[in-house]
Homo-oligomer: A and B are copies of this chain.
Amino acid sequence: MNNEHTFARREKAYIQGCIFPDIRVGMQRVNLTPTVDIINGERVTTENPPIYIYDTGGPFTDTHTCNDMKEALPRIREPWIRERHKKGQPVGQLACARAGIITPEMEYVSIRETMNAHELGIETNITPEFVRQEIAAGRSVIPANIRHPEAEPMIIGRAFRVKINTNIGNSATTSGIAEEVEKAMWSCRWGGDTLMDLSTGPAIHETREAILRHTPVPVGTVPIYQALEKVGGEVEALDWEVYRDTLIEQCEQGVDYFTIHAGVLKENVSLAAKRLTGIVSRGGSILSKWCMVKGKENFLYTHFDDILDILATYDVAVSLGDGLRPGSIADANDAAQFAELDVLGTLVERAWAKGVQAFVEGPGHVPMHKIQENMERQESVCHGAPFYTLGPLVTDIAPAYDHITSAIGAAQIAWYGTAMLCYVTPKEHLGLPNLEDMRTGIMAYKIAAHAADLAKGHPAAQIRDNALSKARFEFRWRDQFHLSLAPERAEEYFREGKHLDGEYCTMCGPNFCAMRLSRDIRKK
């Protein structure tokens, strides 16, 4: 993957903050070539304005910064956190927002969300004050642990661009630390908005440390995995003390959000036992087993307020895990799933009461006609807290292509209001993804997220589509590629046809090109 080639017409650009002049929000600027027309035999050129692309790559997409993964990343949020501390302001974004304080993180995301709109004079309501209000109301979350100052602020909420999360992580049987850090870097470069480290292997602490110090996006984990490692994989040996210590360890390292399966209640486990595919969430199955073996209520539920006190100290957000999500079309929208969702709604309120930002995880496997009910119930039961779904997959029959089955459901549920989508790779149900699988999964989800932004009418989303389509119609092939989600791949496919810069491609051949004929018609 040749960086220089790819980004030849893309360059890193930074936009400065107004309220906080030390803010520099990185984005990709695509510099376009002019439109060339021949009018009465004269060559007439018209400039095309540059297009800005939301950029999750941090220093990795800036050719002027060193990004060989050996040095740690710049700690951009450190002065902001220090300043808040000096001024005696609250630690957390939610507490600040409620106190009427606009943080640098809030201005940062407001700039990030409105690129192109500013430049092209499009009105948007996404001001720093609007961001503050959304956070204060709990409708949006900026996951930003004070111990992870390397992360560039981003916001999860239905009023904003739909975000995508990628999962990485080794299991007991595969891959090492360097490999995971490399995956993290590529995830950010390709467009992952957040990253979950789902490692379960022996070097779990060291892997996470390496990832956090090299990742410019928020990082999430599922702490029960490490807690279970600590007790030798014996579910019955899990207890609050080992979990609490694990939480603190991970908070100290800088994890920005935790998936916590506190909604798996003992009484609901039996509902899931009747299902075609039972419990398919790892966290859900661990805690269900714990409840069954111990005959006690889930300790994450009984200790939820203790958990929140720890999270509030570091401003870690809670992602309320859906341990009873359906794992097949047959189990979608069933009693187990919705019973848990009701519990999650009460946990959202408890999180807010403790000043902890919260979002809610969702399914899973859901046929298209049952997707909308998921969004509507979540919105109502969880009081408007952001929804974060895995797909959903709209059929069970396509292992090896579940990035597609799930992108279909993801696009739809994001249109209805889901704020963040957890990607699915072609290896889902079959094995752990390699780098190429991750790229495929990210592309499928960038598509789903952007399609939803268009359908939701995000003020700046269609600017990129229009610029790309104009480049396509005018045979500005390289402009088209640079505006696309996957410049290298698009150019690679095009080059197979061997007609670079000709006014046709191998689809039609030189005699039948619809767009050329259409341009001819327009000239007349």
Contact = CB atoms under 8 A, between A and B. Distances in A.
Contacts of A273: 521-522
Contact of A200 (B233, B286, B508): B508
A98 B235 CA distance: 68
A66 to B, nearest CB: 30
Contacts of A454: 329, 367-369, 394-395
Nearest to A170: B509
B432 A507 contact: yes
A448 B368 CA distance: 10
Interface residues of A, number: 110
Contact of A430 (B284, B289, B328, B490): B490
A469 B514 contact: no
A292 B518 CA distance: 11
Contacts of A470: 276-277
A423 to B, nearest CB: 12
Contacts of A328: 465-466, 469, 472-473
Given A411-B368, A507-B431, A512-B282, A518 B330 contact: no
Interface stretch (A10-18, A56-64, A122-130, A398-406): A398-406
Contact of A282 (B233, B277, B508): B508
Contacts of A396: 465-466, 468-469, 472
Contacts of A512: 171, 200, 225, 228, 233, 282, 286
Given A277-B469, A396-B469, A397-B468, A408 B448 contact: yes
A478 to B, nearest CB: 12
Given A462-B329, A469-B330, A277 B515 contact: yes
Q: In the complex, which of the residues A171, A462, A497 has the most CB atoms of chain B within 10 Å of its own CB atom?
A: A171
B447 A395 contact: yes
Given A225-B512, A277-B518, A280-B514, 7 more contacts: A171-B512, A173-B497, A276-B466, A367-B451, A368-B454, A398-B446, A400-B484
